[in-house]
């Protein structure tokens, strides 16, 4: 029976590139996988063989040239048993198609460099340092590259050798029927190397536990939740692999006076009853020092006063924030009898005359009356 044209088998034209040939081959191999064609596994396996033969010819420049010139007769002797391959040939296809998905080597040696883990360090800052920025030092317990073996894990004067089980590939192939599955080598755990003479300091691990002191520059304007990346300051990689990164997580401590909301700062400012009534000047704190704040007469408790430019400059840019001072009127305590008499005289003087001296109390009382009227209406 005449063989089907290889280009037709792979559903490509004669000008197809290597990438197009491989893409079509992988797609068809997935399509005709016997595990996905359980109703007719024998037919699927036969189709696999044909697809594999076509791919092996067209993916090789010399074989493809001979096929283009002479057809099947030009390549009949080049397959080396591929045309009659049984379950083993199918296993090769399985490895080629799924090798990249499951990390398989497909018979080719791979790089098994394991980058070190990233680490996180929680750093508490005062509000002042977070707003102004600062330089600080931190001590981090970390797995660092061994200084004696320079991360190789091998004793001085020796080197790791190729694994005797996987021959340095890092993976082994297990054959079960016509299925071929690749997995990490159990001897070298995927590294492809064995250490015959381990380093005495790190016991062949290539890394040692130590505490490292690092300098960290904190930019002005950071806030809780921000983090600073220190490249290559995380855990050392295995057997000389690159180190991970260290992330410094910022946590701003509560302040006794100020609270922060994005770029603005807030503070509570107590004022005396006479100052609230008559007005006056008071001193309020800022992160830059004290400033004067003018309190107008008849100020009510809870009134917000804005001091522009006395807040925070955000670390990611933007306008400088403000300081908002909320005044709280203090009620005098521990009054003498004379003072109580004076307060009573003052209170009596506020009644009558048709003037509302307590506007908030009047509006609140009016609102309560309307509420009950609606309930009983």
Give yes or no for residue 209 having a pLDDT over 80. yes
Q: pLDDT (tens digit, 9 = 90+) per residue, 232-288?
A: 898 888 777 788 899 999 999 999 999 999 999 999 999 998 998 899 999 999 998
Top CATH class of 256-336 equals: mainly beta
Place of tokens 């694994």: 163
**Among 86-95, 300-309, 343-352, whose mean pLDDT is lowest?**
86-95
Domains 119-252 and 256-336 share a fold: no
CA atoms within 13 Å, Cβ hemisphere of 241: 17
pLDDT for the residue 144: 84
Identify the CATH assignment for 119-252 out of 2.10.230.10, 3.10.150.10, 2.120.10.70, 2.60.40.10. 2.10.230.10
The domain segmentation of the chain, as residue ranges, is 6-102, 119-252, 256-336
Alpha-carbon gap, residue 44 to 63, rounded angstroms = 25
* Most confident option among 64-68, 164-168, 182-186, 339-343: 339-343
Alpha-carbon gap, residue 62 to 340, rounded angstroms = 111
Strands 119-125 and 246-252: parallel
Closest CA to 194 of 156, 155, 157, 154: 154
pTM: 0.56
Residue 308 near residue 321, CB atoms below 8 Å: no
Alpha-carbon gap, residue 19 to 55, rounded angstroms = 12
Structurally, what CATH architecture does the domain formed by 6-102 represent?
Orthogonal Bundle (1.10)
- pLDDT level of residue 117 (50, 70, 90 thresholds): confident
Through-space distance between the first and last CA atoms of the chain, rounded to whole angstroms: 101
Residue 168 near residue 108, CB atoms below 8 Å: no
pLDDT for the residue 243: 85
Average pLDDT over the chain reads: 80
Alpha-carbon gap, residue 192 to 214, rounded angstroms = 34
Q: Two tokens at 340?
A: 């109580």
Residue 75 near residue 67, CB atoms below 8 Å: yes
């Amino acid at each position: 029976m005449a063989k089907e044209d290889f280009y037709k088998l792979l559903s490509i034209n004669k000008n197809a590139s290597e990438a197009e040939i491989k893409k079509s081959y992988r797609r068809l191999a997935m399509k005709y996988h016997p595990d996905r064609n359980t109703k007719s596994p024998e037919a699927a396996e036969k189709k696999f063989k044909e697809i594999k033969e076509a791919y092996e010819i067209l993916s090789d420049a010399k074989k493809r040239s001979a096929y283009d010139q002479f057809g099947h007769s030009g390549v009949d002797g080049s397959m080396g048993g591929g045309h009659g391959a049984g379950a083993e040939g199918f296993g090769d296809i399985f490895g080629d198609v799924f090798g990249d998905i499951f990390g398989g080597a497909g018979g080719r040696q791979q790089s098994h460099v394991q980058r070190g883990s990233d680490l996180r360090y929680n750093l508490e800052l005062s509000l002042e340092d977070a707003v102004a920025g600062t330089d600080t030092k931190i001590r981090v317990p970390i797995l660092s590259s061994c200084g004696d073996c320079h991360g190789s894990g091998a004793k001085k004067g020796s080197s790791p050798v190729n694994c005797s089980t996987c021959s340095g590939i890092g993976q082994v192939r297990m054959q079960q029927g016509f299925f071929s599955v690749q997995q990490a080598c159990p001897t070298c755990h995927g590294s492809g190397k064995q250490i015959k003479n381990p380093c005495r300091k790190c016991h062949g691990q290539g890394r040692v536990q130590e505490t490292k002191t690092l300098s960290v520059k904190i930019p002005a304007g950071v806030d809780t939740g921000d983090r600073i990346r220190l490249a290559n300051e995380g855990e050392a990689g295995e057997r000389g692999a690159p180190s991970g990164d260290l992330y410094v997580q910022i946590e701003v401590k509560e302040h006794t006076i100020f609270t922060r909301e994005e770029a603005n700062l807030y503070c509570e400012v107590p004022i005396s009853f006479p100052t609230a009534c008559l007005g006056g000047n008071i001193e309020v704190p800022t992160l830059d020092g004290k400033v004067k704040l003018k309190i107008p007469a008849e100020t009510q408790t809870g009134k917000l006063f804005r001091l522009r430019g006395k807040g925070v400059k955000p670390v990611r840019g933007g306008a400088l924030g403000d300081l908002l001072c909320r005044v709280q009127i203090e009620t005098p305590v521990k009054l003498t009898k004379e003072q109580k008499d004076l307060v009573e005289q003052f209170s009596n003087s506020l009644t009558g005359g048709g003037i509302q001296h307590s506007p908030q109390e009047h509006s609140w009382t009016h609102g309560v009356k309307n509420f009950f009227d609606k309930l009983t209406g």
